[in-house]
Amino acid sequence: MPEGDTIFRAARTLHQLLADGRVTRFESTFPALNRVNDDRPIAGRSIESVASRGKHLLITFSGGLILRTHMRMNGTWHVYPPGARWKMPRRSMRVLLETADVVAVAFNVPVAEFITIRDLARHRPLASLGPDLLDPDFDRAEALRRLRARSSAQIGDVLLDQRVLAGIGNVFKSEILFLARVHPFTSMDALADAVLDRLLNIGLDTLRANVLSPAQTLSVASGRRTTRSLDPREKLWVYARGGRPCRRCGTRIASRAAGPDARLTFWCPKCQPEVSLG
């Protein structure tokens, strides 16, 4: 499922292939995008940059126009040489951008809109984002302030709140909490500042390790991983391992559906003991 690391890598690849290119064809199944294209054609514009903000992907065109997409659970961007056969059916296409060298296709992307650079700072979904863990200028002080502001919430829910920290999804939530030895249903009131600081350190380290380019790592292993093991069978510590033995202590991994979307949370009862305020 797309989380901050997925969007970061997608943006990096799209930037490498599209930046400085000129759009020769634009298509979309979104009526709102097509209305903008009718008034302010995308074909003929150059692509200035592609970047990520949390789970949002932003493609900036000349003329001050930005395409924002959000993958949600099933969206994905593919890139192909012109004329190449797509790996997904055309009915799944939502947005298409073509240059002389590349065809970039967004499949099953549920959210896509054009915004202007002028309106970027006022755009609610983007302006409300918390500090992005993959931003080189990550604001630790602001992140700690936003964490502390959610004093009555449970840490597992807080880590998923993009208004607190941008980029963490359900997989990284469970993995970061395991690495920090924090029970996922612990109230923020029960966590000392040192624990929150440790969570941030682990979050930064874990997400950034998952966006290293091939030139930055000697690892031949692929796919998201938090264990740092090169064994393809041991990518994650606890996520999706309910009922299986903990890789550290052998205790059975527990799981529970929680939150507004009833997402599954995974943890080790021994490595992540419950904390009580009473």
CATH label of the domain that carries residue 201: 1.10.8.50
Q: Are residues 168 and 79 in the same domain?
A: no
Q: Give the count of domains, the chain.
A: 2
Which of 127, 161, 196 delimits the end of a domain? 127
Q: What is the pLDDT of residue 7?
A: 94
- Selected catalytic residue, list 9, 53, 55, 150: 55
Q: Do the domain assignments include residue 150?
A: yes
Q: Do the domain assignments include residue 274?
A: no
- Selected catalytic residue, list 2, 45, 98, 225: 2
For 4-28, how does the pLDDT look when each residue is reduced to its tens digit (9 = 90+)?
A: 999 999 999 999 999 999 999 999 9
Percent of the chain surpassing pLDDT 70: 95
Q: Do the domain assignments include residue 96?
A: yes
113 a catalytic residue: no
Q: Are residues 120 and 162 in the same domain?
A: no
Q: Are residues 122 and 159 in the same domain?
A: no
3 a catalytic residue: yes
Q: Are residues 145 and 257 in the same domain?
A: yes
Which of 127, 149, 178 delimits the end of a domain? 127
Q: How confident is the model at residue 146 (pLDDT cuts 50, 70, 90)?
A: very high
Q: What is the pLDDT of residue 194?
A: 95
Q: Are residues 151 and 261 in the same domain?
A: yes
Cβ-contact 78, 88 below 8 angstroms: yes
- Selected catalytic residue, list 247, 252, 263, 270: 263
Flag the least confident range among 35-49, 84-98, 174-188, 208-222.
208-222
For 71-92, what is the mean pLDDT? 94
Range of the domain at 30: 4-127
Q: Are residues 108 and 153 in the same domain?
A: no
Q: Are residues 169 and 110 in the same domain?
A: no
When the pLDDT of each residue in the chain is averaged and rounded to a whole number, the result is 92
- Selected catalytic residue, list 3, 48, 98, 175: 3
Q: Are residues 193 and 248 in the same domain?
A: yes
2 a catalytic residue: yes
Q: What is the pLDDT of residue 220?
A: 41
For 204-221, what is the mean pLDDT? 70
Q: What is the pLDDT of residue 208?
A: 94
Q: Are residues 152 and 41 in the same domain?
A: no
For 92-117, how does the pLDDT look when each residue is reduced to its tens digit (9 = 90+)?
A: 999 999 999 999 999 999 999 999 99
Q: Do the domain assignments include residue 133?
A: no
Which of 74, 104, 127 delimits the end of a domain? 127
pLDDT beyond 60 at 164: yes
For 263-267, what is the mean pLDDT? 95
pLDDT beyond 80 at 235: yes
Q: What is the pLDDT of residue 221?
A: 46
Q: Do the domain assignments include residue 276?
A: no
Q: Do the domain assignments include residue 278?
A: no
Q: Do the domain assignments include residue 277?
A: no
175 a catalytic residue: no
Q: What is the pLDDT of residue 276?
A: 57
